[in-house]
Structure 1
Amino acid sequence: MNAWNKEMYRFGCSNEPVDDYLQATLYAGCSIVKTPLVTIGYESSYDVFLLSWQSRAISNGLGPALLKVSDSHRSPLKQESLPTRDARVDWVVKTKKAGLRKARKHLQHSKR
């Protein structure tokens, strides 16, 4: 994700405008993505170009990116709970392996 400070506001994904990229049934996803910019009043100040589209992930990425621009954005973004991330360390969050019940849970072995 890249964000540039521009005079003209554009929000695009895969070289298409967001409105063209989204179907009419997914209009809520567009509002979720624009929430961080609308919260701090910069909805007309940044160009955002995306490679893929997952609305909640984009919103969670824009929050910390805007905090890097200025720390004064922290309080409005905090009220919307936007600068959040999964704080668990990678070794705590394990994915399920093939042949196991869970990430580490094995079947009980019977000796006989």
Structure 2
Amino acid sequence: MRRCGSGNDFRTTGDGDQFKVIASLHGSNAAKNLITLDREDEKLFYSLKGCMARPSASCTAPSLQSKQNRQKIFYLFINNRSVECAQLKQALDVVFAAQNTFSTFIMLSLQ
């Protein structure tokens, strides 16, 4: 990535390992607690790949502090293009809230 007139903001190994890229962007602690998501359905013509931070209970003191200190990060790619979808983000928040949990990082790729 480059900003106008500046050098590289970050570098990755370029080997396609998404966990290494996430570690370089968000730190090694974020990458350690990731769960891989992989689902495909030929009848519905879709595939979902991605990862998310391991959900934690939202009522413990450390998780409340973490929730206050860090914003939730949500990346969504559809057909390899970055998109915004407030409805999907809100739906995921509702699912986690119903279980009194939260996840600080979610990356989904839909095709």
TM-score by length of 1: 0.25
Higher strand share: 2
Flag the structure with larger Rg.
1
Higher helix share: 1
TM-score by length of 2: 0.25
